[in-house]
Every structure is written in structure tokens, then in C-alpha cells.
Chain A
Amino acid sequence: KQEVTQIPAALSVPEGENLVLNCSFTDSAIYNLQWFRQDPGKGLTSLLLIQSSQREQTSGRLNASLDKSSGRSTLYIAASQPGDSATYLCAVDRGSTLGRLYFGRGTQLTVWP
């Protein structure tokens, strides 16, 4: 069974800091890896998707990398802002189990002004 682990569980930083969120998974036979953002009272929002053949994806101040061989992904957030405060979830899927995502528990990020 695929296990996804995220560290740290919580992170509190002042505005402007660059930060790194970590995700690891036990089964390297993944199809895609996604990073989601979860805000209270709202749905999950997909931030970045990395296909298994790719090594990284970038969107604005966000950069996600993927190392399948070591079972790791990192989400880098540059110049953090209070609006970045949310829970960030990492999820992987496997081609053999279409439609099924395996999520980590998330990292709860607080950016204070």
C-alpha cells in the first residue's frame, strides 16, 4: 500500500521567507504527483502536477520537484506572503489504480506579517 508522508506537520514563518515543504512516498511506481492547497471551508485546489517523466514544475512563486527513485518531492515557496497560509497536501496516483489518489496528512503553513 502506498504511504505518503509530509514533514513538517506545521510551519510558522514571517512574511518574506523562502520555505520548503517535504513529501515522501513508499512506492515509486507512481503516475503523477500533485501538490494541493486546502483552505478552511473550501475545496482542495491543485497547485502543481508533476508527471512521472518530469522532474519539476513551476507556477509563479511555487516550484515543485520530484525524485521518483528516492520517493521524494519538495514544494518550494519563494517570498512567502500571509495569503499563502493554508494546509498543503501532497498526493500521488498510480497508473494501475486509475483515479485513486494517495494523500499525505499535509503541512499546515502560517505566514505572519
Chain B
Amino acid sequence: GAGVSQSPRYKVTKRGQDVALRCDPISGHVSLYWYRQALGQGPEFLTYFNYEAQQDKSGLPNDRFSAERPEGSISTLTIQRTEQRDSAMYRCASSLTGGDFSGANVLTFGAGSRLTVL
């Protein structure tokens, strides 16, 4: 597509429920990133993929969080047994290749999925 598309845009769930957030990157972009942004904070890195391979998941806060990108395109971030502290904006970004965001290799962010856990 023309941009990075995320769904749902808004998700309200009850504590203890599982949620799945979807990211559809720009067509042809090899690298895909997930960030989390709490209110009043800057985005915080969660994980990233090159094609279908998860290159770095060190930013995932605990084992309730997981992500996959099985066919190297669309990615899903799953949060199991949600807690109130999981409430945040979850942002996805993609780039043509990983690492050097200069020249033609621009990091493009989606509008985000705002998760509220009651």
C-alpha cells in the first residue's frame, strides 16, 4: 500500500483478555518495527523483523508479548492476558532495508493502534 496501515486504530479490552494488533507495511519493505508509546513518553522499541525473521526482540517487556511476520509482509503483535499497564499507543514502522535510515531508506510510521485495558 501507499503507507503503513495498522488495525485496529482503537482497541478497548478488559484485563486478562488477549489482543492482536496488525501491521501492514509498505509494499516491498523488508524491515518492520514495533514500538510502544505511553502517554507523555517517546516511542520505545519492542522488536523488529527483516523479512520473516525476528532480528531483535529485546524490547518486548515480558513473555506475554510476542510478534510474528510469517510471510515477510503483514505482522501481528499479540499481547496475552492484558494488564492495565499495557495501555499505550502501539506503533508499527517499515523501511526498505534495516539499519541505515538515510538516503532512500526512510523509516515510515503508521498511525498506530491505541490500546486501552480496563
Inter-subunit contact B43/A99 (CB<8 Å): no
Which A residues, 13 to 72, have Cβ-Cβ distances below 8 Å to chain B? 31-32, 34, 41-46, 49, 51
Query: A102 — which chain B residues lie within 8 A by C-beta?
Result: 45
The stretch from B12-20, B68-76, B77-85, B109-117 touching chain A is: B109-117
Q: Interface SS of chain B: helix, strand, loop or mixed?
A: loop
Interface assignment of B88: CB less than 8 Å from any CB of chain A: no
Pair count A-B, CB < 8 A: 69
Q: How large is the interface on B (under 10, 10 to 19, 20 to 34, 35 or more residues)?
A: 20 to 34
List A contacts of B112 (CB < 8 A).
Answer: 43
Of A46, A91, A98, A100, the residue contacting B59 (CB under 8 A) is: A100
Interface residues on A, range: 20 to 34
Once the chains bind, are A105 and B42 in contact (CB under 8 Å)? yes
B31 in contact with A101 (CB, 8 Å): no
Closest A residue, CB atoms, query B6: A43
Interface of chain A residues 63 through 113 with chain B (CB within 8 A): 89, 91, 93, 95, 97-106
Query: Are A99 and B98 CB-contacts (below 8 A) given A43-B91, A43-B110, A44-B43?
Result: yes
For the complex formed, measure the closest distance between the CB of A1 and the CB atoms of chain B, giving whole angstroms.
11
The answer to whether A49 and B59 touch across the interface, beta carbons within 8 angstroms, is: no
> Which residue on chain B has the smallest CB distance to residue A43?
B109
* B41 at interface by CB-CB < 8 Å: yes
Residues B101 and A98 in contact, CB atoms below 8 Å apart: no
Task: Find out whether the CB atom of B111 lies under 8 angstroms from the CB atom of A98.
Answer: no
A-B contact pairs, 9 of them (CB 8 A): A6-B42, A31-B100, A32-B101, A46-B107, A51-B102, A89-B42, A89-B43, A105-B40, A105-B42
